[in-house]
Amino acid sequence: MQRGADGATRLNCSANIMVLMPVGTPPAPRAACSRTGPARRVDAVFFDVDFTLIHPGSAFDGEGYRAFAARHGLRVDASRFEHAVREASVELERLQDGVYRPEPFLRYVSRVLTRMGAVGDGIEGCALEIYDEWALCHHFALYDDVSPTLAALHAAGYRIGLISNTHRCLDSFQSHFALEPFITAAVSSSDHGYLKPHPSIFRAALERVGISAEGGVMVGDSMTHDIAGARRVGMAAVLLARSGEAPETADGVPVIRSLAELPDLLAGTNGRSRSR
């Protein structure tokens, strides 16, 4: 699977950058507040997982799909993978009621295979194998900026949570990538029952971390699932745009190109990291 097209960096720009502060730090200078809008006190930082903290390896590129297909007696054209993913993404945009269920994801994978040229009875079984394998951490790699950033935020006193649209076990995820020391709570859509952007999954995460929405900031790569969902329940948000042209803000939300920018953004120190 690959992420759907969320238009993450393509929204209108705005100069309304929020100033975010960790608990226990002094307020930002008055001039900064008046220039950028009201400051918010941040107790906890919540992260999306897929394409925010981790990215898939070769098992889920065109050649990887070709290998999956071959095991099910299917022939596909690996060069058609990216086009197939774009076309199939519509399946993931039909999750309108917000309830987590595997079927839309299986339809998405089946559609990718079909668009790559697969024909025959093996498509359903192949899609199920790919769906199951997507949950396994060894197929994924951590972005280089993740561990240093989570360590810095943890050291600065923030509580850290995970909110993920996934059927991956988030306990296994934390263990596999050695992130357990930093994470206070994690909520997956398959365990919780609702997908982002449904308010329920954000509220569940806030409750598990033990803070109100006003004290939380959501960081993710999806304007639709991460940012809009978080803002709907009253959380602040930061959009991660790892590639492409990134405006300074998107729809009033700060945009970062790397998680390494996050500690300074939260501290509001304009380039100087803060620790305590």
Residues that bind Mg ion (CB under 5 A): 48, 50-52, 221
User: Please, what sign has the CA dihedral across residues 68, 69, 72, 73?
Assistant: negative
Instruction: Report, in Å, the least distance between residue 56 CB and Mg ion.
Output: 11
Instruction: Report, in Å, the least distance between residue 224 CB and Mg ion.
Output: 10
Instruction: Report, in Å, the least distance between residue 8 CB and Mg ion.
Output: 9
Instruction: Report, in Å, the least distance between residue 164 CB and Mg ion.
Output: 8
Considering beta carbons, is residue 52 or 184 the nearer one to Mg ion?
Answer: 52
Instruction: Report, in Å, the least distance between residue 51 CB and Mg ion.
Output: 4
Q: How far apart are CA 111 and CA 117, in angstroms?
A: 10
Phi, psi for 187 (deg, rounded to 5): -130, 125
Considering beta carbons, is residue 227 or 267 the nearer one to Mg ion?
Answer: 227
Q: How far apart are CA 7 and CA 222, in angstroms?
A: 8
Instruction: Report, in Å, the least distance between residue 163 CB and Mg ion.
Output: 10
Q: Please provide the size of the chain in residues.
A: 276
Beta carbons within 10 angstroms of residue 272's beta carbon: 9
Considering beta carbons, is residue 123 or 241 the nearer one to Mg ion?
Answer: 241
Considering beta carbons, is residue 110 or 222 the nearer one to Mg ion?
Answer: 222
Compute CA 157 distance to the chain's CA centroid, rounded to the nearest angstrom.
22
For residue 166, give the nearest of 185, 143, 197, 187 by alpha carbon.
187
The pair of structure tokens assigned to 10 is 């393509």
Q: How far apart are CA 96 and CA 104, in angstroms?
A: 11
Q: How far apart are CA 92 and CA 94, in angstroms?
A: 5
Angle (CA) 57 152 179, round 5°: 45
Q: How far apart are CA 188 and CA 174, in angstroms?
A: 12
Q: How far apart are CA 2 and CA 25, in angstroms?
A: 39
Q: What does the radius of gyration of the chain's CA atoms come to, in whole angstroms? A: 19
Considering beta carbons, is residue 126 or 241 the nearer one to Mg ion?
Answer: 241
Instruction: Report, in Å, the least distance between residue 3 CB and Mg ion.
Output: 6
Q: How far apart are CA 165 and CA 100, in angstroms?
A: 8
Considering beta carbons, is residue 6 or 74 the nearer one to Mg ion?
Answer: 6
Instruction: Report, in Å, the least distance between residue 48 CB and Mg ion.
Output: 4
Considering beta carbons, is residue 41 or 86 the nearer one to Mg ion?
Answer: 86
Considering beta carbons, is residue 29 or 93 the nearer one to Mg ion?
Answer: 93
